[in-house]
Structure 1
Amino acid sequence: MKIAVISFSRSGYALGEALHAGLIKEGHEVTTYTKSKYTKMVLDESQLDIDAKTIRNVKQFAKPVDESIGAWTSLRFQNSDALIFIGACGIAVRAIAPYVKDKKKDPAVVVVDEQGNYAISLLSGHIGGANALTLDVSRITGAKPVITTATDINEKFAVDVFAKRNGFYISDMGLAKDVSAALVAGKEVGFYSDFPWIGELPEGLKIAHEDEERPELGIAITSSYLEHPFVHTLYLVPRVITLGLGCRKDTAKEEIQNAVRKACDEQLIPTVAMEQVVSIDLKKDEPGILEYCRERNLPFITYTKEELAQVEGKFTKSEFVESITGLDNVCERSAVKGSEDGRLIVRKHAENGVTVALAMKKWSVEFE
């Protein structure tokens, strides 16, 4: 996690030094700032559970902040995963207020009083990770963690935390809130999954059996919107699908996008279910594919002809493709290869010189 820490006083600066060293030890990327003139404080390592080697390896602590807190916060909201304010809650609230937009995208915000008595999860407790970061801060400083999210204080299943841990796309944040509210109120929430799961189903979730009455509200873990197991279905979509592509040279990104969309429409597969795009290495510099992947932040992986020839299975043959690449099929073979010998869920779909295939890897849901 990329964390920005800011302090406003002598004691706050000293605590910032401690957090800087401790959070780095926890594996975070940390940059520390101060609006205080006290930028040359010496960290008293004897008061902290941090080894001296870790402290010596920290080359720089707080950078002075010359701009306003609002301007500093605006930039940190754009380039940080989390902000830690060492000072009064009021300072943090006023600083972040203009920039709070979307709980799916807002960074985590934690406030620690300058004496290190309390660490407060202020914003994006679940999806942003503020609750988990608050616990990290508490371990480092000895502060008492203050976490107010209802599912946490009632020790209930938190669907947004579960989704983040498993890398799910949450289809509807309003329904996610309804799921949490139902569980906190002691109501049953339905559970449906296209995938096997590891661990015990959390308390409050009821498996959706065909021959039994189902709750109106439920969670569906699936890579397709074909199924609608509950009246109000919250879809949690894992990234488990590999997109195999082939195309004519210099095919426009728009043509690729259109072909992918039509291939996905066959099974109502949302593009958020894709984890990567794959093809033959002849296409490694194809501008349209590269632009398509860049816009969606998807890795583009290519394989040699020899690698794809070794993929086992029955594939849709094309004499034209074979004359160009030396293989009877590129999109299906590469999709299966990329999914680690997963199963084809959409065979070759051709559209304006673009060929598309989708394969799903073997995968399981994990409950703690």
Structure 2
Amino acid sequence: MKIAIISVSDKGQQLAVSLKNKLDNDSTVIKTDLYHKNVKKYFPILFYEYDAIIAIMASGILIRSIAPLIESKASDPAILNIDDNGNFVISTLSGHLGGANKLTKKVSELINATPVITTSTDVNRKLGIDVLARDLYLSIDNTSEILFFNKSILEGRQISFIVNPEKNIDYLYEYLKNNTLEIDMSVDFSSKINTDEIHVLLQNHKLILKERKIIVGLGCKRGKECSELYFGLKKSLVDLKIDKSRINMLSSAEIKKDEMGMLELSEKLNIPINFVELDKLKLFESNDIQKSEFVKSKFGIYGVCEPSALITAGFDSKLIYKKTSYDGVTIAVAISKDK
């Protein structure tokens, strides 16, 4: 998640700096940028450039600033509102699909504030279908049906998940098992369903949840064993709160194609690995990747795990887990474009 923090007062700016320092230690936060004053100038830019905006200001200023920009729950960024004293963190826009509710809880813990969340499913301890989709990195084909399904969940009606019997959906079972929120649902199987889809049915209403490709980028010092790579991978999946069955592919640079640890990890997990050509890595440009001068001097490229993951995930993909080191192993995770 790329986050912009904007403040208008000196006290708010101090809080913004403190919050940025804490968020920068989170591997799921790709970058955090600070903005101060000039609200009218900045908001039209931030609204389209960031996944989330944290506004440290009076709610009236925030609402007037974003009102002309709001388009759809499927595309609007997460918006959080914090008072200058850092007493309350309010989830203001895109609570579910944009991730504002989840970010509100995280930020409130970081600054010891009270989280304020008002979405019906959350306050009634129910699992919204759009929350499930976001947490599992699934796109939704028809967002206009979200309201019907969430209302049905609130009413305690049973919804059906239809999946392909050949698809490993351990990630769905793990998510539902670990999620304490109430939802009445059943899982059924049909070979007519594409393996990368989950169909959600109730009466004549249907949602199609489709997997966005999750690519784990790997880097390591020469000779790292499978167990060492697996340790780093498991740590990253814990941070992302997803099961390993949700990974679509592993990726690294072609200079690593003879690393037995990587090849064994691919075999152990039964997940294919793609080794990206050096020429593609040399040409790849992104403002979001961490550049290593050491790697550049040795191999002619600025990095391995982040660019490999992004290239393999495809055009307009983005990082959901920045390069993180685990004793000589580096892990990054990218996700394909939301269709």
TM norm structure 1: 0.51
1:31 maps onto 2:1 in alignment: no
Q: Which residue of 2 aligns with 1:108?
A: 78
1:22 maps onto 2:1 in alignment: no
Q: Which residue of 2 aligns with 1:237?
A: 210
8 Å Cα contact 1:6/1:16 also seen in 2: yes
1:165 maps onto 2:135 in alignment: yes
- Deviations along 1:84-113, one digit per CA (max 9) or x if unpaired, are 111111111111111111211111110000
Q: Which residue of 1 aligns with 2:121?
A: 151
User: Aligned letter for 1:20?
Assistant: K
Distance 1:222 1:204, change over 3 A: farther
Deviation at 1:26, TM superposition (A): 2.5
Q: Which residue of 2 aligns with 1:98?
A: 68
Please provide the CA RMSD for this pair. Answer: 3.3
- Deviations along 1:255-297, one digit per CA (max 9) or x if unpaired, are xxxxxxxxxxxxxxxxxxxx89xxxxxxxxxxxxxxxxxxxxx
- Mapped to 2, the partners of 1:90 and 1:227 lie a distance apart of 38
Task: Give secondary structure in 2 for the equivalent of 1:148.
Answer: coil
Written as runs of structure 1 = structure 2, the 5 A alignment for 1:252-331 is: none
Task: Give secondary structure in 2 for the equivalent of 1:161.
Answer: helix
Counting matched residue pairs gives 210
Percent identity between the two aligned chains: 33
Deviation at 1:191, TM superposition (A): 2.2
Work out which of the two has the higher radius of gyration on C-alpha atoms and give 1 or 2: 1
8 Å Cα contact 1:222/1:237 also seen in 2: no
Deviation at 1:222, TM superposition (A): 5.5
Deviation at 1:232, TM superposition (A): 1.2
TM norm structure 2: 0.55
8 Å Cα contact 1:73/1:96 also seen in 2: yes
1:205 maps onto 2:187 in alignment: no
User: Aligned letter for 1:24?
Assistant: D
- Mapped to 2, the partners of 1:73 and 1:169 lie a distance apart of 26
- Mapped to 1, the partners of 2:16 and 2:136 lie a distance apart of 32
Distance 1:190 1:2, change over 3 A: same
- Mapped to 2, the partners of 1:105 and 1:225 lie a distance apart of 21
- Mapped to 2, the partners of 1:225 and 1:193 lie a distance apart of 5
1:178 maps onto 2:157 in alignment: no
Task: Give secondary structure in 1 for the equivalent of 2:79.
Answer: strand
Distance 1:154 1:227, change over 3 A: closer
Distance 1:233 1:142, change over 3 A: same
Distance 1:178 1:192, change over 3 A: same
- Mapped to 2, the partners of 1:132 and 1:71 lie a distance apart of 28
- Mapped to 2, the partners of 1:125 and 1:227 lie a distance apart of 21
Deviation at 1:209, TM superposition (A): 5.6
Which sections of structure 1, spanning at least 5 residues, go unmatched? 36-67, 211-219, 242-274, 277-299, 304-337, 339-368
8 Å Cα contact 2:160/2:201 also seen in 1: no
- Mapped to 2, the partners of 1:302 and 1:16 lie a distance apart of 39
Distance 1:115 1:225, change over 3 A: closer
- Mapped to 2, the partners of 1:24 and 1:90 lie a distance apart of 28
Deviation at 1:164, TM superposition (A): 1.6
- Mapped to 2, the partners of 1:232 and 1:240 lie a distance apart of 26
Q: Which residue of 1 aligns with 2:58?
A: 88
Q: Which residue of 2 aligns with 1:128?
A: 98
8 Å Cα contact 2:78/2:100 also seen in 1: yes
- Mapped to 2, the partners of 1:118 and 1:229 lie a distance apart of 38
Distance 1:193 1:129, change over 3 A: same
Q: Which residue of 2 aligns with 1:59?
A: none
- Mapped to 1, the partners of 2:51 and 2:197 lie a distance apart of 30
- Mapped to 1, the partners of 2:213 and 2:18 lie a distance apart of 40
Distance 1:71 1:136, change over 3 A: same
2:48 to 53, 71, 78: 78
Deviation at 1:177, TM superposition (A): 1.6
- Mapped to 2, the partners of 1:6 and 1:206 lie a distance apart of 41
